[in-house]
Structure 1
Amino acid sequence: MKIRVRYRNNSGEVTAGAARAFRIGMTLLAMTAVALLSALITMRLAIHTGEVEVPNLSSLTLEEAAEKTSSAQLNLTVENRFYSTTVPAGRVLSQSPSPGASVRKGWHMRITESMGPQRVSIPDTVGMNERDAGMAIRRASLDLGAIAHMPSPGPADTVLAQTPPANAEGVDKPEVSLLLSQPESATPRAYVMPNLVGMSYSAASAKMREMDLRVYAIIPQPAPVAVDPNAPTGTAPPAPVATLPAGVVLTQNPAAGMRVSTTDTPRVKMSASAIATPSATPAPSATPASPAGAVAPRPSAPVVRQPAAIPTIVR
């Protein structure tokens, strides 16, 4: 049995389909570009249609400036007042934005009002409390400016300084700023503990006084001298042997580098003046027998050791 296979040549249909898809894609792309361009043109026209030109308000009265900005569909705000020797009182000294700028309708314009030449005298409020100083400033037709505080001894809220100073001339702005006192902080001042080991007590105390601190020294008493029971009567005890110079700092608390404050009490341990030489323990010896009729010797008194003395605290 024979099978015949016939091939169909459809290359023309494939080419026609690809061309048709390309044309559809280009049409969609062109429509998208046209839509974006139309949206941009519409937004630009809408924005520029809502813009106005800022008028020139220089040297106008406040009423004239308000009327001119209202006709331009803008809002007006008086932001500051300054003295001026060139612009009469009650007129516009400066404005923002500047004339000729393009802004949206309803924009808030800010102007500075001229108060003319300075005609008031700056009162002296140093030493007054905050309430009296504020009343004195307002009585002089001035405004109370910034208020700052600084720790200072004495009553709180007392005027330490003012700006501008009393009776100043050539002042730009009609306001007085005050510097008031406040109670000093109750937080103790902190320091870094120095290394006092090896110093004498006087040097260590002077070092701590530089930080407004006092140091307390603990001086141990030397050990008592042991009495030899076999020593002949009237023999002097052995002299103590000094091992370190007297009054040298051996240890300290807190350690060097630690944080200390005025509420802390640093302590140091000083070297004693001398340490006694320990007595030698006598070797036991045999007691000879007493002859008949001889009187037995009285036994020696026991060794009495004094208790160690309590350490002395030196301020």
Structure 2
Amino acid sequence: MARNVRHVPKDSSRRRVWVYIGVAAFILFDILLILWAINSTRATASGSAPRPIPTYTTTPATPVATPTATPTPTPTPTAGADSAGIVAVPATRILSAVSATTAWRASTGACPATAATPELTTDSGATWASTDATGPTKVTAVQSLSASSATTVTLMGLTAAGCAPEVVKTFVSGDNYKAYPEQVATSWYVNPANRAVVHAPAGQHPAPCDAVVSLAPRSDTAAAALCGDGRLFTTTDAAVTWSTPATLPGAIALALAPATSGYLVVSAGRPECAGAQLLTVTDALAPTVAGCYAVSTPATAMAGTVAVSEAAGTIWLWAGEQVVRSTDSGATFK
């Protein structure tokens, strides 16, 4: 009897082969996924280690200074750029006019070595008569002159003993002098021992600067003061307070200007004047150039050697070796 043979379709065999291939591919894919996961975890683990903290080099900021208030210093005596280095100093020549023909003058210097010998002219300065105030009063070093006539003049000087301020007068054209010590307390003056103080008729007060070199009193309460740095101040309350100053480069001499109720100032070393330049200054300290008197004295040697005064419409100027006068407000001198 013949055996029955099972017939296996060829398509079933092929399907089994593809099943095996698919299972193998799946297994291989799983293996690859596992390996990738392991490597990724290692990378993360290594990446989670603490990283170094970065450091930076910085440039320190420049400290900013805290602003502080700086007091305005008292100016050191210096001259303006156009004043040839001129610095005002105390006068060695003093002049006080009375009229167009009459005036008193004096040379001065250190105390007690310099005798007080005022001179008088009554002929417009053609001749001068010398007098002796030191002999009868022991006064020395004339500081100021205030003449009211050919016979009467008041001077402020310094005593031979101690060099203290002293008031001396003559009423006989200098034939004799007498001291009036009781009048010192009510007088205007600057003591050479301390030029940072001004003495007024009501008492002494701080000067407007470190060194007053010239004082021009107008009344018991009003006066002007010229400082060594060329600044000019006025006071109307007997030196208790002082005005805002006017700066006058090269200013070396100061006097009252009765004709204008202002002041006269002489400047040296100004480029527009080869000599003594005369300025008229109002009571409000507004200056105007009035004229120029040419002298051969070098500008740097003029400080302290020039004096000016006005009376009866005549301006007297002592500069160089001459005393000259002007009757046209300083426009011309002769």
TM range (shorter): under 0.3
Normalised by the size of structure 2, how large is the TM-score? 0.18
Which structure: greater strand fraction?
Answer: 2
Normalised by the size of structure 1, how large is the TM-score? 0.19
